[in-house]
């Protein structure tokens, strides 16, 4: 008889994080075999949960934030599972906006580690880090008696570990574009097939208005499963008013709705969230108009065209693929016409660096590059060499802190600083800017 976790010493938080670091050697393995084996060993906790499942290339996280906050305002206990995170590992697993506690994480990580070791003893493959996190999240959401879980895919959809779930109420498809081509496919239709893999028997489907190639794939998948499809067309939003603090818009019966997420594309994500909760109401989870208004207004999502400070204006954005770069360029053009712009840029090696640079660099008078870490990282010098093909004023710096300090030194009152690229460095950058701005504010207040 195997020893229970109650009889076994649990990991400390440091040990749990070391364990997750050690698991990086297992990489990322597409397919559901490992997660199915792991969840079976843990008693299939996912079978006791109901889900809103979100896939897409860009906009998943913001849409998840809107949906989660609306459902919380409607009185539901809402689990949310996201990746990657910006500040803290525990951000991945939240209930009603509160991160899993270190104590609960350590206890459940010990349980999942035991299950992984049992699988290996049986001659089965060891689960990957993402599979471990996904299974752990299911255990936690069951313990917390979540009414509904808003679940974001890690990569793709059909072969993503999150896709072992069967109790999908609403499958949500955010904007689909080119990214992770080496894994998901080299055409929009191939990538769309992967993303649309989250569509299942008995669910409802809500998709943002997609490129024709993508739309065709989604419609065919819905016909195959005989499930209803709702298109959330953000271009039908009217009376749009955008500032650097908030945006207002009207859509259908929702008049003068307000969101605190800036960047014009966020209105499309908000519309997608509205249609998703409307579809959820048809599944027996009613949501009042009041909850929709309140949830839209309260939703936050760090690192997505986020205003960090006003003097000078400093924006952080997670644009790390061609579609994200195009959206960033549109927002820069909309908000900052005739402004002097400094970029801070850090992009992983396996991203379309040239395409991202090409779409964004024409707006900047000066570009500062920073290194990105890990096996997929790029040195600031390598990135600066790529940037120099499009912009002559480029400087490679050794650290994020150095880039922040230099950008402030170079900025005058009409300068806008925009930091973007890999989410892996934005957490450090946001913390550095906010701490600096707080120190300046405190000193001016004395």
The pLDDT tens digits of the residues spanning 32-84 come to: 999 999 999 999 999 999 999 999 988 999 999 999 999 999 999 999 999 88
User: Does position 400 have pLDDT exceeding 80, yes or no?
Assistant: yes
The CATH classification of domain 306-445, taken from the options 3.30.1370.30, 3.90.1300.10, 3.90.190.20, 3.90.660.20 = 3.90.190.20
The per-residue pLDDT for range 342-367, each reduced to its tens digit, is: 999 999 887 788 999 999 999 999 99
Verdict on whether the full-model pTM lies above 0.85? yes
Res 441: pLDDT: 58
Confidence of residue 184 (pLDDT cuts 50, 70, 90): low
The arrangement of secondary structure in 15-298, i.e. its CATH architecture, is 3-Layer(aba) Sandwich (3.40)
Fold agreement between 15-298 and 306-445: no
Please count the other Cβ atoms lying within 10 Å of the Cβ belonging to residue 240.
13
- Spell out the domain ranges in the chain: 15-298, 306-445
397/376 Cα distance (integer angstroms): 18
């Amino acid at each position: 008889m195997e020893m229970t976790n109650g009889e076994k010493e649990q990991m400390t938080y440091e040990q749990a994080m070391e364990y997750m670091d050690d698991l990086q050697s297992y990489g990322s393995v597409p397919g559901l075999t490992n997660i199915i084996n792991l969840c079976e060993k843990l008693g299939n906790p996912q079978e006791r949960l109901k889900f809103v499942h979100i896939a897409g290339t860009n906009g998943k996280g913001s849409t998840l934030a809107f949906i989660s906050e609306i459902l919380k305002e409607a009185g539901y206990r809402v689990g949310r599972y996201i990746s990657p995170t910006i500040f803290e590992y525990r951000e991945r697993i939240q209930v009603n906006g509160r991160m899993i506690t270190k104590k609960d994480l350590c206890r459940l990580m010990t349980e999942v580690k035991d299950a992984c070791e049992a699988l290996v003893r049986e001659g089965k493959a060891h689960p990957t880090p993402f599979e471990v996190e996904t299974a752990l999240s299911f255990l936690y959401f069951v313990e917390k008696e979540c009414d509904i879980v808003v679940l974001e895919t890690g990569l793709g959809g059909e072969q993503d570990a999150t896709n072992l779930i069967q109790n999908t109420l609403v499958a949500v498809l955010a904007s689909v574009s080119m990214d992770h081509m080496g894994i998901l496919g080299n055409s929009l239709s191939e990538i769309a097939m992967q993303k649309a893999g989250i569509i299942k028997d008995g669910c409802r489907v809500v998709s943002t208005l997609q490129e024709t190639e993508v739309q065709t794939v989604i419609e065919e998948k819905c016909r195959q499963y005989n499930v209803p499809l709702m298109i959330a067309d953000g271009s039908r939003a009217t009376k749009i008013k955008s500032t650097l603090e908030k945006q207002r818009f009207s859509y259908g019966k929702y008049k003068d709705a307000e969101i605190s997420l800036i960047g014009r594309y966020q209105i499309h994500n908000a519309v997608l969230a509205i249609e998703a909760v409307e579809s959820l109401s048809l599944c027996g989870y009613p949501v009042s108009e009041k909850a929709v208004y309140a949830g839209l207004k309260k939703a936050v999502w760090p690192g997505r065209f986020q205003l960090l400070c006003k003097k000078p204006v400093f924006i952080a954005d997670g644009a790390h693929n061609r579609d994200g770069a195009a959206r960033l360029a549109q927002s820069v053009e909309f908000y900052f016409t005739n402004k002097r712009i400094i970029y801070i840029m850090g992009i992983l090696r396996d991203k379309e660096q040239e395409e991202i640079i090409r779409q964004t660099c024409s707006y900047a008078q000066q570009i500062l590059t920073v290194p990105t870490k890990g096996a997929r990282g790029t040195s600031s010098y390598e990135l600066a060499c790529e940037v120099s093909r499009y912009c002559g004023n480029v400087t490679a710096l050794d650290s994020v802190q150095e880039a922040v300090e230099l950008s402030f030194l170079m900025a005058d009152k009409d300068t806008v600083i925009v930091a973007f690229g890999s989410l892996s460095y934005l957490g450090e950058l946001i913390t550095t800017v906010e701490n600096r701005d707080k120190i300046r504010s405190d000193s001016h207040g004395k």
